Structure 1
Amino acid sequence: MNKDIFEGKWEQFKGEVQKRWGKLTNDDLDVVKGDVRILVGQLQEKYGMTKEAAEKAIEDLKEQHTNKEMFEEKWEQFKTEVQKRWDKLTNEDLDAVKGNVKVLVEKLQEKYGMTKEAAEKAINDIKEKMKK
């Protein structure tokens, strides 16, 4: 696994790490400074994870973070697909989303009565389509 988790993106990712693993303090995360080996050790110590489980959990969170960033950065492209698929969403709704998946999920629940899971799956389907 890469020693430098995000090559300069640690500060952005650190908040997500703290949300996921609330037992890690700001001091703990300041020690990490993007070094995955240190983070793995802290997860082992604070959560009793095996090394492999900690590495997988970090990779999973990293992938989620990367997908989130991609969605935000390419929002204008996604927005077109979203408009095609869900025409009940107004321009005002889409402006409120601004690439935030959570807000889009809420809008789909509100306008289409979708469950959170169904909305997330539908959004992920669009993401996958856009990757191709």
Structure 2
Amino acid sequence: MMTVYLPSLIGGMLLGLSAAMLLVVNGRIAGISGILGRLLGGRQVWTNAAFLLGLLAGPFLYGAAFGRWPNVTIVASWPVVLVSGLLVGIGTRMGSGCTSGHGILGLARFSKRSLAATATFLVAGIAAATIMGAVR
């Protein structure tokens, strides 16, 4: 029964390892919004592009390891997905980072700002899920 959690466990371990490696090797926080921002701004192009390509390669590596594609079901319409993505992008700029930067490395470094940001992400996510569940 525990094997059902194995892909998530491995994914979390790889995410933590890659975030730690980026911090140790390059002194950079593995916040995806910052990495994408630096890439689009033309700064540290090779490092940022390699990190993002590694993220995009994830489903292919999963398929190679487990012999099938990850099971992902999106029940929202494409306009809802696009607007949601835009709002998340705006939120990451307003919050000076995203869940990966604040939640993984910020909390590990005992950053008070990251603790406040991560708590805000969680409360907002719980509230949104609760409201959407009530609306259905």
Is TM > 0.5 for Structure 1 vs Structure 2?
no
Highest RCO, 1 vs 2 (Cα 8 Å, sep ≥ 6): 2
- TM-score category, normalised to shorter length: under 0.3
TM (norm. structure 2) is 0.27
